[in-house]
Amino acid sequence: MENFYYRRLDVYQNAKALSHEVCKLIKAFPVDERFGLCDQLRRAVMSIPINIAEGFGRFSAKEKAHFIQIAFGSTNEVMCELELAFDEGYINKEALNTMESRIISVKKQLSTLHRTILDNGDAITTKL
């Protein structure tokens, strides 16, 4: 089995790209949000690819699926935090819409991956 095979997953690559884009947005937030919304948003968006990777470090399909669910939940957290940032005027509507489209794409991929893991059980690592 290949080491770190999760790297080949499109959802992992897209989650990393989403994380990078959100972190770029955060740089424009006010300094007084550095330890508030910025920190929370950074942790939430980074947890998406981190949980994908951690899930694929687990041995059972049930554990893999659980970490994909956590990553999925983090997408909702990120969207909420971006909406709050928009409400506070830290990002504009265009940035919010762009991030929402990317988040929806990652959510769809996570949903498909979750279903695939549950349908194929422990054989998933050999099929990817």
Residue 8: inside a domain? no
Residue 2: inside a domain? no
Residue 126: inside a domain? no
Residue 5: inside a domain? no
Residue 65: inside a domain? yes
Residue 9: inside a domain? no
Rounded Cα distance between 108 and 100, Å, is 12
Whole-number percent of the chain with pLDDT over 90: 85
Q: Are residues 18 and 102 in contact, defined by beta-carbon separation less than 8 angstroms?
A: yes
Q: What is the per-residue pLDDT across 94-113, written as a single tens digit (0 to 9) for each?
A: 999 999 999 999 999 999 99
Rounded Cα distance between 4 and 19, Å, is 19
Q: What is the per-residue pLDDT across 23-54, written as a single tens digit (0 to 9) for each?
A: 999 999 999 988 899 999 999 999 999 999 99
CATH for 117: 1.20.1440.60
| pTM (predicted TM-score) | 0.91
Residue 10: inside a domain? no
Instruction: List the end-to-end C-alpha distance of the chain, in Å, as a whole number.
Output: 11
Residue 1: inside a domain? no
Q: How many independent structural domains does the chain possess?
A: 1
**Mean pLDDT, range 114-127, rounded to an integer:** 74
- Boundaries of domain holding 100: 15-121
